[in-house]
Structure 1
C-alpha cells in the first residue's frame, strides 16, 4: 500500500483538524463546535430520515457528525467500523490528511480507528507516470484520557498486519513467487523478533514431504517450507498453538487445468491462507500477546509443466500415508497434509489451518464468512465463532462427521485427494484431519479471501480474511 495512517493520542485537537463527533445537541462540548441553527436543524432532519452520518464543510475543517443509534446492538462495534470506512472515503475525496475522533467512548474510538485504518488500504504499487494514484489521510488523532495508548497501538498493529496480508494476496505471482514470498515473510517476521526457519528443496526431499514435492513437480521454482516460531518469555501455553496456511502462490490447476475466465486469472490469491496465518503471527508478535505460536507455511505454485504430477498418480506423504491423485487441482490439501503431519511432532495445544481450499465453500455461503469445522471441543469451536462475531471476520460452523471421510477412501491407496460431487468443503476437511494432530480446526476462507467489489472497510481484491478472527481467538485463549 502507498500509505498507512498513523494513529496517536493528542492533548487537544487543533482548530483546523476535521473532527468526528456524535450528535448530542444538549451536550456542552457539542455546543462549543459553533454550529448554526440551520446546521443543527439540518442534522435533525437527517436523523429523522435514518441517516447515519452527516458531513458538514465548515471551510476551515470538516465535521463528521455521527447519528449514533439510540439502542445499542450486539454489532455496535461493527457500526462504528462501517462509519470509519465512510469517513475515510470522504477524507480521500477531500484530500484531508488528518482526522480527529472527538468521542468520549473508548470502544467507539477504537472501532472507528479500526474502520478508518482498514478502509485506508490501497494497492497502488503498479501504477506509473500519469496513472499514479495517491492516498491522503496520514494521521488519526484521539484524545488522551479517552483511549488507552496500548489499546490504540493494538488496533494499529492488527490493522497493519491485515493490510500486509492483503498486499501479499494482491501481489501477482510474477512479483511474489515462492522464493520471494519466503523472503518477505522472513523480513517482516524478524523485524518483530519472530524466529524464522526456511527449508529448501533438499531438506524437503530429505524429510520426504511427498505432497509438497508432488505439487511442485510442474514448476520451475523449487518449493519451500517456512517455519515461524513466536515464543514470548511469559507465554501462558507451554504447548504451542500451531497455525498452518496454504501457500500455493499461483494455481493453474496443474494437468487438471482450470478454465481461464473468472478462475485462473485470480489464482494469485491461492496463498490467502498463508498470508492470513503469517499476518496473524505478525499481529501477535507486534502486540506482544503472551501466546506460544508456531506457524507452518508450505510454498509452491501448481503448474502443468515439466514432470507435473498427474491424475492417477499415487503419492507417499510425509507421514507415510499413500494418496491417489484424482485431480491435480486439489493441490492445497496435498501440501497442507505434509505440514499438518509435521505438526504432530510439535505436540500442539491445538492446530488450526486456513486455506482458500474449495469452491464448494464459496458456493455454500458466499463471501460473507469462512467455513470452519474440526474435532476440537465444542467450546473451542464456539470460541472461534464468538471471536469471528466480535471482529466481524465471521465463521459458519459445519458438521465434521466421520461418514464424510468414507468418500475419501481409495481403491488402490489409503486415501484419494477428492471426494464426490457434494459437500466438497467437508470431505476436504476430513482428508486433512487424517494428517493433523488433535485437537484440530480447519478454516476454509475461499469465499472472503479475495472479493470482486469493495464493501465498507473491506477492499476489492485481497481482504486479509482470517487475520482479525484468529488474532482475537488466540488472544482470548486463557491457558
Structure 2
C-alpha cells in the first residue's frame, strides 16, 4: 500500500499480490483491506472510494470485504467511545462488478456483523429468551419467518436433551425455528442449518475449572451463525429454501441440575446416559437433529462450538468437518472453505469410533473416551440422523482473544460467509 497526500483527498495505491492460487490471492487482498481500513480510520475518514482500475473484480471485492470486516467494533458497553472507527461508507467503481454482486456482499457482511454482535454479548444480557428476542428483531427486517417454542412446547415435543441441560438454570429454554422460503426457491427439499445455542456454559455439575470457563458466553456461536446466515440469505434475496433450528439454554449447576449417571429420553425416543454434564451441546443438538427429520431435508448442516478436542487439534485457524451420506456436498463445502478462508479439516466418522459411546444402562452415552473427542462427538450426533448430514465443529475459530487481521478480536462470525458461498455454488 502506497499512500499519497498531495491532493485534496488521500490516495492509496494497493497492488494485487503476486500469488498464483486465487483463493490465497483473495485472502491476501482481504488482509490488505484490513490495513487500508486501519489507515483510513486513523485519519478519521468517513468515506472511501475503491477504483478497480484493472477490472480485477474478485480481488477488489476481497479488498472491500477485508476493509468492512476489519472495521467492525463492538462498543455497546463502552462508556467512552475513544478509538471508535469513523469509516462508514466504501464506494466501488468497477466495469465488471454488478450492483447485485455488491448487494450480495453487503448482505453477507451484515450477517457476519450481526453474528459477531450476538457472540460478543455477555450472558448478563443474552439469556436464552433474550437470544430469541434479538434474533426475532433482526430477522423480521429481512422477511424471515420465525417461531420461538417456549418451555411448554419443548416439553410437549419431549425434547429431553434440551430440558435436561436446562434443569440447573433459572432461565427457561427456547427452540428457535427460522425459515427463508422464497416463492421461486430453486430447491425442492430444504437445506437445514442447526446451531448450538448454549448462551453460557459452566460445565454444569461437572464444573469447568481454572480459566476454562472464560469466554463461555461464546458457546452459542453456532446458533448465532445460523441466524446471521439466514439474515444474509434473505437480505440478498437468494432463491434458496433454508430452515434454521437453534436450541438455546444455558448450562449451570443447581439443585435440580442433571448429574453424571442420569438418563435422558430424547425427542426421537432414544435414551442417553449422561456421563459428563459438560458434554451438553450434543444433547441439545440431538433433539434438533431429530426434529429436523419432519422437514425431509436434502441436507442438514450443524455448526457448533462442540469440543476442546477440535481446538487442540486445529487451533483457531480451521474448523473440523465430518459428513454422513453427504460426500459430494462436504467436498463442495471444503472447497468453499478455501474460497472464503473459513477452512475445514475433514475428520472421519468411521464406525469403530462409535464403540466408546456404548452404554450399559441406556442406548448411548454422551461421551466416548479421552481420545478423538471431536470425532466421537460427531458420531454421537450421527445417531440422530437418517439423512445427508454435515457436522462443523467451530470451537476454534469462533472467538479470538487477540486481533487477527480482518477477523478482528472477539467474535469472528465464522460460518456465515462459508454457508452463503456454499449456497451460491449450489445454485449454479
Is the TM-score greater than 0.5?
Answer: yes
Mapped partners of 2:20, 2:205: distance in 1: 54
Say whether residues 1:69 and 2:17 are aligned partners. Answer: yes
Offset of residue 67 of structure 1: 2.9
- After TM superposition, list the pairs within 5 Å mapping 1:138-177 onto structure 2: 138-143=88-93, 145-177=95-127
Offset of residue 179 of structure 1: 0.8
Q: Which residue of 1 aligns with 2:390?
A: 441
Q: Which residue of 1 aligns with 2:201?
A: 251
Offset of residue 55 of structure 1: 2.4
Offset of residue 382 of structure 1: 0.7
1:369–1:146 CA distance, 2 compared to 1 (3 A): same
Q: Deviation digits for residues 413-432 of structure 1, max 9, x if unmatched?
A: 10000111110000000100
Contact map agreement 2:16 2:59 (CA 8 A) in 1: no
Q: Which residue of 1 aligns with 2:84?
A: 134
Q: Which residue of 1 aligns with 2:378?
A: 429
Say whether residues 1:120 and 2:68 are aligned partners. Answer: no
Q: Deviation digits for residues 116-151 of structure 1, max 9, x if unmatched?
A: 1111100111111x4554220011111263421111
Offset of residue 84 of structure 1: 0.7
Contact map agreement 1:340 1:437 (CA 8 A) in 2: no
Query: Whose Rg is larger?
Result: 1
- After TM superposition, list the pairs within 5 Å mapping 1:38-437 onto structure 2: 53-58=1-6, 60-70=8-18, 72-74=20-22, 75-104=24-53, 105=55, 106-128=57-79, 130=80, 132-143=82-93, 145-261=95-211, 263-437=212-386
Contact map agreement 2:49 2:90 (CA 8 A) in 1: yes
Mapped partners of 2:321, 2:243: distance in 1: 20
Q: Which runs of 5+ in 2 are unaligned?
A: none
Mapped partners of 2:81, 2:74: distance in 1: 13
Mapped partners of 1:390, 1:144: distance in 2: 22
Other structure's SS at 1:457 match: helix
1:361–1:245 CA distance, 2 compared to 1 (3 A): same
Offset of residue 108 of structure 1: 2.3
Other structure's SS at 2:246 match: strand
Mapped partners of 1:56, 1:354: distance in 2: 44
Offset of residue 71 of structure 1: 5.0
Offset of residue 280 of structure 1: 0.9
Offset of residue 438 of structure 1: 1.3
Mapped partners of 1:230, 1:69: distance in 2: 38
Other structure's SS at 2:192 match: strand
Contact map agreement 1:113 1:155 (CA 8 A) in 2: no
Count the aligned residue pairs: 425
Mapped partners of 1:251, 1:224: distance in 2: 16
Q: Deviation digits for residues 240-294 of structure 1, max 9, x if unmatched?
A: 1111000000000000000142x21210000000011111111111111111111
Mapped partners of 1:336, 1:437: distance in 2: 15
Mapped partners of 2:16, 2:155: distance in 1: 59
Contact map agreement 1:124 1:132 (CA 8 A) in 2: no
What value does the CA root-mean-square deviation take over the aligned residues?
Answer: 1.3
TM-score by length of 1: 0.87
Mapped partners of 1:298, 1:273: distance in 2: 10
Offset of residue 306 of structure 1: 3.0
